[in-house]
Structure 1
Amino acid sequence: MVLHDLDHLVETVASDVVRWRRHLHQHPELSFEERKTAQFVYHTLQAFGGFELTRPTRTSVVARLIGSAPGGVVALRADMDALPIQEENEFEFVSQNPGVMHACGHDGHTAVLLAVAKVLSRMREEVAGEVRFIFQHAEEVYPGGAQELVDLGVLKGVDAVLGLHLWAPLPCGQVALKPGHLMAAPDTFYLTVRGQGGHAAQPHLTVDPITVAAQVITNLQHVVSRYNDPLDPLVLSVTQIAGGSTTNVIPNEVQLSGTVRSFKQELRESAPVWMERVIRGVTEAHGADYEFRYEYGYRPVVNDEKLTQTLRQTLTRVFGPGVVVDAVQTMGGEDFSAYQQAAPGTFFFVGAGNPDKGIRYPHHHPRFTVDEAALPIAVKAMLAGALRVLETASTRTDRTEA
């Protein structure tokens, strides 16, 4: 289509994408609370013109751009929610909402997709098929917004779905893809260790849940190191512990929680069995009791082989040598996986880190930010991917009709 003219097209929205990202960064909203964000997106798209706009939920927006000729349907997704983190950055567009921050790049994702929408709204006559823009709520909190939107039919009739993540571990200027498993399934567990409290000066008259919980934590590490095949990635992290109210009282119970990450379904099923075996053994050995709850989270992100290969070839042609690299698997999770259950999908990373500019903090850190030079790269990548999918679908349709 117009892949040769992408640099010019991206340049027309280069200032917009930065301005939108900064506005969104200043006004972050938590998962399922993205009301003003969704309104901003809706009104911005409305101003472009040419879209069929809907609000599948009160905090999400879907825009359909119907081309002038029949063809395939490609869906592009951006997540919009922020995190419950107090920002510690000092630039002029820091969060104005205390305790809430865009610490994962979703402000950039939304701005990038708005920029792609603006470009394509101006070239509707050159589009064969449909581009469906999904501005999704609640990626950060299970059960997430993706599955809800899929259940509401936003991917009905879609040939392929693309998503990207501005990625701090990747240097700005690179784009990373990988077919197959890219991101893990993030499951969650909750554990209460119950003992018998009493005076801290008489521990022999108690069943101390703190010392029992400490041994549970230590022994749970055997699930990864001794129960699991070391060639199968598995992470088990205890991330929260709470118990006790003062220095001279042994409490009755301690609460623990954490996450388990894996790629294989059989591991997702085995991990809680292994964990409970350890928990039961440790607590029984010390006369304590327990309550264990395990919740399955998002599915792993598994990129479609053929679609990813097509996207890699396209981006290599568009960006030239040295830009497109192999993505490294991560144990992070993403509810983009819900879309991949409904249509062939590819999720890819756009480098956003730059230590030379002080942009070196990880995702979910109070000083996280992205190199804004990554924004036009992301716009260009998403535009190229969308246009290539439509071109492929159109060629396939032509062959079928012939």
Structure 2
Amino acid sequence: MIDQLIKALEEKEGMMIEIRRHLHENPELSFQEERTAQYIVDFYKGKEVQVVTDVGDRGVKVIIDSGKPGKTLAIRADFDALPIQEDTGLPFASKNPGVMHACGHDAHTAYMLVLAETLAEMKDSFSGKLIVIHQPAEEVPPGGAQGMIKDGVLEGVDHVVGVHVMSTMEAGKVFYRAGFIQTGRAFFKLKVIGKGGHGSSPHLANDAIVAASHFVTAVQTVVSRRLNPFETGVVTIGSFDGKGQFNIIRDNVTLEGDVRGLTEETKKTIEKEIKRLTSGLEELFGVTCELDYNDDYPALYNDPEFTDYVSSTLKEQLEGIPVEECEAQPPSEDFAYYAKEKPSVFFYVGAAPEDGEIFPHHHPKFDISEKSLLIAAKAVGTIVQDYLKNE
């Protein structure tokens, strides 16, 4: 039956590419994906599936029931875009100014729609149920996964599978890793309040820029001096709002920072040290600090036993497509919330463009090899057919 599925998907590769390009031209930001959600719902009209809308915030749950008892597997694809002005020059570039599918979620939705259609046509070949999760708002906290989980998208589900196409990984291959595979995330805003004054008389003021600049330097020691060298952690100051006039001492400065850690323990260590440095800044410079620290997406953990099953199945049954172990990835991913609820696996499909320069995700020139769509569909479809196979 897997061979039959593969053949059907190969015949529909053009449909996947067509859908991907339509979605790429019409991107929508997180929590604003009205037209995209409707497009997904419309696609399933007339098909032998059950569609549940408005799961969480604009999420779509599709149930493919074989009518026979068995296990329940969920497969997930996200569909939101980013606030980026596209600069690819593609003939199907974004028509929405300042909004772009710069992370591949258009590809995720395209392959998933065609795969789901095909599996629905073949549902007599497996047992149990397949739950297709079309998730909005992966890019912006609190993310779309939590709302869908709260609305019961995982009720009765045994395992969850997710895939991400990767422009930085070799096209034509599938990559996996057991255990922690993507970092958890936190973000913070720090307002440093001093005392303004004339640039010629710093002794009568308390310079917030000097204090905040010290924090920017000191916070770099959290990773270099407070984490075990074998732990993965990152602290980035992405915004320093200190613009003023050359002869005026600022009375306050606001910083914004990004935190990543490959384990929850690492995230907690970084949070503790940032709060400690903030208190120390007040003592050292006599300033007042207002810290708003927000713990965000958890680290993504691939269940080792289920990952072993997925990787072994793909290696044995996915003909002509290499399946390789990879390193953990620095970005965060709200698929982690599903993985906290059910034993799950999140793996990657290489999508580096064959021609031209390779640009990372979230770049204005980001693009992928469209061959990755068929490979993603084959890989996930193979897992579905094997996991839900008739005994």
Match of 1:176 in 2: 175
Q: Is the 8 A contact 1:183 1:331 kept in 2?
A: yes
Q: Tell me if the contact between 1:68 and 1:126 (Cα under 8 Å) persists in the aligned partners.
A: no
What SS does the aligned partner of 1:141 have? coil
* Aligned equivalents of 1:96, 1:283: Cα separation in 2: 48
Aligned to 2:293: 294
TM-score (norm 2): 0.96
Supply the RMSD in Å over aligned alpha carbons.
1.5
Q: Which amino acid aligns with 2:267?
A: R
Task: Give the letter aligned to residue 119 of structure 1.
Answer: T
What letter corresponds to residue 366 of structure 1 in structure 2? P
Residue 269 (structure 1) aligned with residue 273 (structure 2):
no
Alpha-carbon distance in structure 2 between the residues aligned to 1:321 and 1:230? 38
Which residue of 384, 387, 390 maps to 1:389?
387
1:134 matched to which residue of 2?
A: 133
In structure 1, what residue type is equivalent to 2:126?
V
In the alignment, what sits opposite 1:258?
A: 257
What amino acid sits opposite 1:86 in the alignment? Q
Aligned pairs for 1:97-108 within 5 A: 97-108=96-107
Question: Partner residue of 1:202?
Answer: 201
Query: 1:58 Cα shift?
Result: 5.0
1:244: how far off?
A: 2.7
**CA distance in 2: counterparts of 1:133 and 1:322, whole angstroms:** 24
- For 2:255, the aligned partner's letter is L
Structure 2 residue aligned with 1:167: 166
TM superposition shift of 1:320: 4.0
SS in 2 for 1:383: helix
Q: Return closer, same or farther for 1:36/1:342 CA change in 2, 3 Å cut-off.
A: same
Counterpart residue number, 1:371: 369
Q: How far, CA to CA, are the matches of 1:27 and 1:96 in structure 2? A: 6
CA distance in 1, matches of 2:226, 2:305: 35
Give, in whole Å, the separation in 2 of the partners of 1:309 and 1:58.
33
Q: How does 1:37-116 map to 2 (within 5 A)?
A: 37-47=36-46, 49-55=47-53, 56-57=55-56, 59-116=58-115
Task: Tell me if the contact between 1:359 and 1:369 (Cα under 8 Å) persists in the aligned partners.
Answer: no
Shift of 1:318: 2.8
CA distance in 2, matches of 1:327, 1:388: 23
Q: Using the TM superposition, give the Cα deviation of residue 15 of structure 1 relative to its aligned residue in structure 2, in angstroms.
A: 0.6
1:58 to 1:263, Cα distance in 2 relative to 1, 3 A:
closer
Return 79-88 or 320-329, whichever deviates more.
320-329
The answer for unaligned runs of 5 or more in structure 2 is none
User: Structure 1 residues 140, 58: closer, same or farther in 2, change over 3 A?
Assistant: closer
Q: Please say if residues 297 and 332 of structure 2, whose CA atoms lie closer than 8 Å, have aligned partners that are also in contact.
A: yes
Give the letter aligned to residue 316 of structure 2: R
Tell me the TM-score normalised to structure 1 length.
Answer: 0.93
Q: CA deviation at 1:202?
A: 3.0
Q: Indicate the SS of the match to 1:218.
A: helix
The range that moved more, 200-209 or 137-146, is 200-209
Aligned AA (2:286): G
Q: Which deviates more from structure 2 when the two are superposed, residues 259-268 or residues 137-146?
A: 259-268
1:125 aligns with 2:131: no
* d(CA) in 2 for partners of 1:238, 1:360: 26
Contact 1:192 1:254 in 2 (8 A): yes
Q: Report if aligned partners of 1:327, 1:349 keep a CA contact under 8 Å in 2.
A: no
Unaligned 5+ segments in structure 1 are 396-402
How many angstroms does 1:110 deviate by? 0.6
**How far apart, CA to CA, are the structure 2 residues paired with 1:101 and 1:322?**
30
**Structure 1 residue 124: Cα displacement:** 2.1
Partner of 1:244: 243
User: AA paired with 2:259?
Assistant: V
How far 1:321 moved relative to its partner? 6.7
1:388 match: secondary structure = helix
1:17 corresponds to which residue?
A: 16
Q: Deviations over 1:171-192 (max 9, x none)?
A: 1111001111101111111111
Q: CA deviation at 1:6?
A: 3.8
- After superposition, give the CA deviation of every residue in 1:286-314 in whole Å (9 maximum; x if it has no partner): 22221112111111111111211111111
Which amino acid is the alignment partner of residue 50 of structure 1? E
* Correspondence for 2:281: 282
- Structure 2 counterpart of 1:358: 356
**Residue 157 (structure 2) aligns with:** 158
Distance 1:283 1:372 in 2: 53
Counterpart secondary structure, 2:69: strand
Aligned position for 2:211: 212
Q: Is the 8 A contact 1:35 1:58 kept in 2?
A: no
CA distance in 1, matches of 2:281, 2:133: 48
Would you say the 8 A contact 1:13–1:119 is kept in 2?
Answer: no
TM-superposed CA distance for 1:270, in Å, is: 2.3
Displacement of 1:322 in angstroms is: 6.7
2: CA distance, partners of 1:182 / 1:57: 26
